[in-house]
Structure 1
Amino acid sequence: MMQQGAIESETVRSEADEAPRLEVRHLCRRFDGRTVVDDVSLSVMPGQVTCLLGPSGCGKSTTLRMIAGVEQQDSGEIWADGQMLCDGRRTVPPEQRRIGLMFQDFALFPHLSVAENVAFGLRGAGGAAGGRVDELLCKVGLPGKRDAFPHELSGGEQQRVALARALAPSPRIMLMDEPFSGLDNRLRDGIRDETLALLKAENTGVLLVTHEPEEAMRMADEVALMRAGRIVQKGAPYNIYNAPIDKDALAFFSDINLIEAKVHGALAQTPFGEFLCPGHADGERVEIVIRPQHVALDFDRDGRGPEPTMQHGCAARGIVKRARFLGTESLVEFAMEGFDAEFKVLVGGVFLPPPGQPLWLTIPRNRCHIFSAAA
């Protein structure tokens, strides 16, 4: 019987681990008749990092505040580990939701020591609080800073204290609103990686808000791209980057080059040759988009460029406007001959052709994205 009970207990625990830590269903919020969060749904599994990515004002932080319980939704439901937190009528108070919060400014109490800051969320834990504080300070690499005060710490150390304080009550969900934006670039990558490792070790579900695509790509297991209050695309970072839903989604992650054309017989004629446009009607205007790092360059040979190929189509001639070295790559900007467009090209290493030099540009077909211009 004991063995059967142990198996049943393990089965229950396994099923609980497979359930979402956080589930948001059709969340909406309006201010003064204006919808700022519009039918947002997402889920976060244990140990998973989901990133809400989008420009300022798109509703990311409002979504986070509703999940935390400091903002009331107009409609929709919020669940944690299968428990209803709020459905617009009934609500669990913020302090009972077991949700950790980390913000950009760290929000440490200046009059409390590091240990007292970390212990703040453990009120009522009695003698166990001291052990939990010491455990977390070791995990974040600050065992010798127990009695220090926030003003005596570097920015990176303050961020680690804020993380330890947020983890102290063992939250099942961690909400992070641009928590690394106050750190300089030298510290940011290391602190982010350490933070993620610790959160995953605690099996915490993480919902991170950022407007920086690079941060989302580096940290997230899943990205939810927001625009004007709505999630327009969700998926793994690789899929979001390589299979964007539209031109704006593509442009949010990097610079783009744009070629406009009209479809005839499923083909679009451009200075770079023909492009297949399946699914686009005759007469429809399309936009062919390619990132600067995917454009190939070739030298001018007395006014001639490379021969056309199936993979790259035709070459188009461009005149260098300016070239700049960016550290690990060079950005070359072109005025294109024969059509009114400017092209940007990223080249690895140092490549600084002088203004006025002609070069030939080709664009591999498997790196292009074709969208309806009307969309």
Structure 2
Amino acid sequence: MQTETPRLEIRNLKRSFEGRAVVDDVSLKIMPGQVTCLLGPSGCGKSTTLRMIAGVEMQDSGSIHVDGKLICDTIFRIPPERREIGLMFQDFALFPHLSVADNVAYGLRGTRAEKRERVKELLERVDLLRFIDGYPHQLSGGEQQRVALARALAPKPRIMLMDEPFSGLDNRLRDGIRDETLSILKEQDTAVLLVTHEPDEAMRMADEIALMRDGQIVQQGAPYNVYTRPIDRAAVSFFSDANVIRAEVSGALAHTAFGRFLAPGVPDGTAVDIVFRPQHVRIDFDRAGKGPLPTAADGTPARAIVKRARFMGNESLVEFEMDHDGSILKATVPNVFMPSEGTVMWLTIRRDKCFVFDVKT
């Protein structure tokens, strides 16, 4: 059985500046029509990786391949303009002195008539044909972004590199333009590498997420798997708020005020962090000084006092001070739930939604 060749493959890329490894042994494969998000905090090496693939930055070691063919290592190098790679950035970088049509046609080959036909086709696709002879300053931010998209797509690139391309847009425009962009790219079977520091954007757009930290890809997989099977505490926290309980393991169990948590394979005496998201905290009312009965699914209830409750639009966020140690835990509840400060409540935690990590690891 033949395995499909990746449209883009990078192998063991490394890049250092002044002795500091900015990109440290990064490898990725992206298939035709696949969207991969390189996700991570600012300064983790995402944009440098993109620039090396584009050819505007040279790697110290490693290689880059398109459709199975080497395009760049430390000896052989195809120039950026011959790599058939499209680029989209947060800065639309449209030429102010050129018309919309000339911006889109920039870099196209062929006769004037052929270029004009391709420009009209793309502007119609992004619903901007009426502005074909206008200029960038006459367009809104969202319209300029769509012109930049049309320009990037005009040469029919096999690969599209996108560096925070939607972060400068109004929230009301962002979702629509993101979805429209993805639709066009998938229609053309383009492999997409999108750099972002926003987990919501990665979850919305990606077929695969590569979570990057300190120059390395620490976890890679489908969005659902990266979110529900995080590799460590930092990975949980990057995607959402997280509560953390410190405990010690004895007999493969971590003992807490919320009952015991499974810690298979962890040696006795090991300190662990039990990490869970606010939406997986269950809240019960106080019943004459008592809470609900313990269950296998939710463990033992722990008494807490409401410190603050806020309505966030589609959910409510409640902060609790725990009786047993004074720590603060957060819980989110769908719709409106606004208990008064000082209200006594009982909290339990869904065992199947908790992650147990060795503190040292």
**TM-score range, shorter-chain basis?**
over 0.9
Q: Deviations over 1:164-192 (max 9, x none)?
A: 00001110000000000000110000000
Tell me how far apart the structure 1 counterparts of residues 99 and 80 of structure 2 sit (CA, whole Å): 25
Q: 2:57 aligns with which of 52, 71, 77?
A: 71
Q: Which residue identity lines up with residue 196 of structure 1 in the other structure? A: L
Q: Does 1:141 align with 2:121?
A: no
Q: Does 1:317 align with 2:311?
A: no
Q: Which residue identity lines up with residue 132 of structure 2 in the other structure? A: R
The answer for the alignment partner of 2:282 in structure 1 is 296
Paired residues for 1:1-375 under 5 Å: 18-375=4-361
Measured on the aligned residues, the alpha-carbon RMSD in Å equals: 1.2
- The TM-score, its normalising length taken from structure 1, stands at 0.95
Q: Deviations over 1:337-374 (max 9, x none)?
A: 01242100000011111111111100011011100011
Question: Which stretch of structure 1 is more off in the superposition, 73-82 or 337-346?
Answer: 337-346
Tell me how far apart the structure 2 counterparts of residues 151 and 127 of structure 1 sit (CA, whole Å): 26
SS in 1 for 2:106: helix
Q: Deviations over 1:103-142 (max 9, x none)?
A: 0011100111110000002145543111111111111111
- The TM-score, its normalising length taken from structure 2, stands at 0.98
- Checking the alignment, whether the CA contact within 8 Å between 1:271 and 1:339 is kept in structure 2 is no
Tell me how far apart the structure 2 counterparts of residues 46 and 110 of structure 1 sit (CA, whole Å): 33
- Count of residues in Structure 1 that have an aligned counterpart in Structure 2: 361
- Checking the alignment, whether the CA contact within 8 Å between 1:297 and 1:362 is kept in structure 2 is yes
Q: Which residue identity lines up with residue 25 of structure 1 in the other structure? A: R
Tell me how far apart the structure 2 counterparts of residues 276 and 118 of structure 1 sit (CA, whole Å): 58
SS in 1 for 2:340: coil
SS in 2 for 1:194: helix
SS in 2 for 1:121: coil
Tell me how far apart the structure 2 counterparts of residues 165 and 274 of structure 1 sit (CA, whole Å): 58
Tell me how far apart the structure 2 counterparts of residues 276 and 195 of structure 1 sit (CA, whole Å): 44
Gaps of 5+ in 1: 1-14
Q: Deviations over 1:247-304 (max 9, x none)?
A: 1011100000111100111111100011111010000011111100110000011210
- Checking the alignment, whether the CA contact within 8 Å between 1:24 and 1:42 is kept in structure 2 is yes
Question: How far did 1:221 drift?
Answer: 0.3
Q: Which residue identity lines up with residue 235 of structure 2 in the other structure? A: A
Question: Which stretch of structure 1 is more off in the superposition, 210-219 or 302-311?
Answer: 302-311
Tell me how far apart the structure 1 counterparts of residues 233 and 40 of structure 2 sit (CA, whole Å): 14
Q: Deviations over 1:214-262 (max 9, x none)?
A: 0000000000000000000000000000000011011100000111100
Identity of aligned residues (%): 67
Tell me how far apart the structure 2 counterparts of residues 69 and 340 of structure 1 sit (CA, whole Å): 54
Q: Which residue identity lines up with residue 335 of structure 1 in the other structure? A: E
The answer for the alignment partner of 1:10 in structure 2 is none
Q: Which residue identity lines up with residue 21 of structure 2 in the other structure? A: T
Tell me how far apart the structure 2 counterparts of residues 152 and 122 of structure 1 sit (CA, whole Å): 23
Q: Which residue identity lines up with residue 198 of structure 1 in the other structure? A: I
SS in 2 for 1:339: coil
Question: How far did 1:310 drift?
Answer: 0.8
Question: Residues 58 and 125 from structure 1, CA distance in 2 versus in 1: closer, same or farther, beyond 3 angstroms?
Answer: farther
- Checking the alignment, whether the CA contact within 8 Å between 1:121 and 1:166 is kept in structure 2 is no
Q: Deviations over 1:77-104 (max 9, x none)?
A: 0001112110111100000000000000
Tell me how far apart the structure 1 counterparts of residues 20 and 152 of structure 2 sit (CA, whole Å): 33
The answer for the alignment partner of 1:8 in structure 2 is none
SS in 2 for 1:20: coil
Question: Residues 278 and 257 from structure 1, CA distance in 2 versus in 1: closer, same or farther, beyond 3 angstroms?
Answer: same
The answer for the alignment partner of 1:4 in structure 2 is none
Q: Which residue identity lines up with residue 247 of structure 1 in the other structure? A: R
Q: Which residue identity lines up with residue 183 of structure 1 in the other structure? A: L
Q: Which residue identity lines up with residue 153 of structure 2 in the other structure? A: L
- Checking the alignment, whether the CA contact within 8 Å between 1:171 and 1:204 is kept in structure 2 is yes
Tell me how far apart the structure 2 counterparts of residues 227 and 55 of structure 1 sit (CA, whole Å): 7
Gaps of 5+ in 2: none
SS in 2 for 1:279: coil
